[in-house]
Chain A
Amino acid sequence: MVSTTLPSTAQVWDWLAEVPDPEIPVISVTDLGIVRSVEWQGDTLVVHVTPTYSGCPATSIIALDIETALRARGIENLRIERRLSPPWTTDWLSDEGREKLEAYGIAPPQPAGGPARCPHCGGTDLERISQFGSTPCKAQWRCRGCLEPFDYFKCI
Chain B
Amino acid sequence: MTRDEALFEFCLRLGDTTLILGHRVSEWCGHAPILEEDIALANTALDLIGETQMWLSLAGEIEGKGRNADDLAYLRDAWDFRNLLLVERPNGDFGRTVMRQFLYDAFASLMLAGLMKSADTRVAQIAAKASKEVAYHLERSADLVVRLGDGTAESHARMQAALDEHWPYALEMFVADDVDCVLAEVGIAPDPSTLRADWDALTGRVLSQATLDIPDSGFAHKGGKSGRHTEHLGHVLTEMQWLQRAYPGARW
The count of residues in chain B whose C-beta lies closer than 8 Å to any C-beta of chain A is: 25
- Give the size of the chain A interface in residues (CB under 8 angstroms): 20
Q: Are A87 and B39 in contact (CB under 8 A)?
A: no
Mask, B131-163, CB within 8 Å of A = 1, is: 011001001100000000000000000000000
In this assembly, does B105 line the interface, its C-beta being within 8 Å of a C-beta of chain A? no
Contact A86 B128 (CB under 8 A): yes
Q: Are A136 and B46 in contact (CB under 8 A)?
A: yes
How far apart are B30's CB and chain A's nearest CB, in angstroms? 15
Report chain B residues within 8 Å CB of A54: 47, 50-51, 53-54, 129-130, 133
B211 at the interface (CB under 8 A from A): no
Among A51, A130, A132, the most chain B Cβ lie within 10 Å of the Cβ of A132
**Pairwise interchain contact A134-B39, C-beta atoms closer than 8 A:** yes
Give min CB distance, A10 to chain B, whole Å: 29
Provide the bound-state CA to CA distance between A55 and B133, in Å: 10
Query: What separation, in Å, do the CA atoms of A92 and B117 have in the docked complex?
Result: 24
A-B residue pair count with CB separations less than 8 angstroms: 65
Query: Are the CB atoms of A156 and B132 closer together than 8 Å?
Result: yes
Please state if B139 and A131 are interface contacts (CB–CB under 8 Å). Answer: yes
Interface: A84 (CB within 8 A): yes
Given A132-B40, A134-B39: A55 and B49 interface contact (C-beta under 8 Å): yes
Nearest Cβ in chain A — how far from B247, in angstroms?
Answer: 21
| B109 touches A (CB below 8 Å) | no
CB-nearest residue of chain B relative to A56?
Answer: B50
For the complex, give the distance between the alpha carbons of A57 and B132 in Å: 18
Measured between beta carbons, the chain A residues less than 8 angstroms from B50 are 51, 53-56
Contact with A along B37-76 (1 / 0, CB 8 A): 1011001101111110110000000000000000000000
Return 23 A-B CB contacts under 8 Å, by A number.
Answer: A51-B129, A53-B46, A54-B47, A54-B51, A54-B130, A55-B46, A55-B47, A55-B48, A55-B49, A55-B51, A55-B53, A56-B50, A84-B54, A84-B129, A85-B125, A85-B129, A130-B37, A131-B140, A132-B36, A134-B39, A154-B136, A156-B132, A156-B133
4 A-B pairs with least C-beta separation: A55-B50, A54-B50, A132-B40, A85-B125
Which residues of A pack against B, CB within 8 Å? 51, 53-57, 84-87, 129-134, 136, 140, 154, 156
